[in-house]
A and B are shown apart, each in its own frame.
Chain A
Amino acid sequence: QKEVEQNSGPLSVPEGAIASLNCTYSDRGSQSFFWYRQYSGKSPELIMFIYSNGDKEDGRFTAQLNKASQYVSLLIRDSQPSDSATYLCAAHQGGKLIFGQGTELSVKP
């Protein structure tokens, strides 16, 4: 079983809709969680991180963490075509960062 799992997608949403990206992890010792965005042919870039249960908001992005269910999600409100990318979830375990396989998001105008 992969330690960090994401829906591979692709996930397609219309412009202006809410995109919901999900991630589960298997190691309860995971300390913090990260969401990265990666455009095709580019390096990953950090969107936000979360380490406490609950919601964390940053502009149009909201990360949600539920440690009891071992579940992390990223909501993107008012999705724009420029949000079309692959979204990577990662869990911090000791000194390691474990990534999921990524979810491809396509926002249609």
Chain B
Amino acid sequence: EAQVTQNPRYLITVTGKKLTVTCSQNMNHEYMSWYRQDPGLGLRQIYYSMNVEVTDKGDVPEGYKVSRKEKRNFPLILESPSPNQTSLYFCASSLSLAGDTQYFGPGTRLTVL
């Protein structure tokens, strides 16, 4: 089954404790992306990757890191989480971006205390 998986689905952590949210897709997609969704602000892109070893900043990259060492995986790293990073996070992938269906993962709800 074609899918994007994220782990964990729910996470409660404390300020400053490094964490990684994993994202994996099994569709051999080149384009992968991370978004955060906050009430009233919609989906905002954090980082995206056009292919292996190619990543770029989205609209809200501060406080986040990503890597793309393999085509299927695109982890999101919060080196020192803060309460303003409490949000719902989605990973997505597509063959390309122009005109291709972007498949979203199930989401990770993160709470930083």
Could you tell me the distance in whole angstroms from the C-beta of A44 to the nearest C-beta in chain B?
5
Chain A residues numbered 51-109 whose CB sits less than 8 Å from any CB in chain B: 51, 88, 90, 92, 95-102
Could you tell me the distance in whole angstroms from the C-beta of A61 to the nearest C-beta in chain B?
14
Residues of A within 8 Å of B101, CB to CB, are 46
- Contact yes or no, B59 A96, CB < 8 A: yes
Residues of A within 8 Å of B41, CB to CB, are 101
- Contact yes or no, A101 B98, CB < 8 A: no
Chain B residues numbered 88-113 whose CB sits less than 8 Å from any CB in chain A: 90, 97-99, 101-102, 104-107
Residues of B within 8 Å of A8, CB to CB, are 40
A97 to B102, CA, bound (A): 10
Chain B residues numbered 42-69 whose CB sits less than 8 Å from any CB in chain A: 42-45, 48, 50, 56, 58-59
Given contacts A90-B43, A97-B48, 10 further A-B contacts (CB under 8 A): A34-B102, A45-B104, A46-B102, A51-B99, A95-B97, A96-B58, A98-B45, A98-B59, A99-B44, A101-B41
Residues of A that sit less than 8 Å from B by CB: 8, 31-32, 34, 43-46, 49, 51, 88, 90, 92, 95-102
Listed A/B pairs (22) with beta-carbon separation below 8 Å:
A31-B98, A32-B99, A34-B102, A43-B90, A43-B105, A43-B107, A44-B43, A49-B99, A92-B98, A95-B48, A95-B50, A95-B97, A96-B45, A96-B48, A97-B33, A97-B48, A97-B97, A98-B45, A98-B59, A99-B35, A100-B42, A101-B40
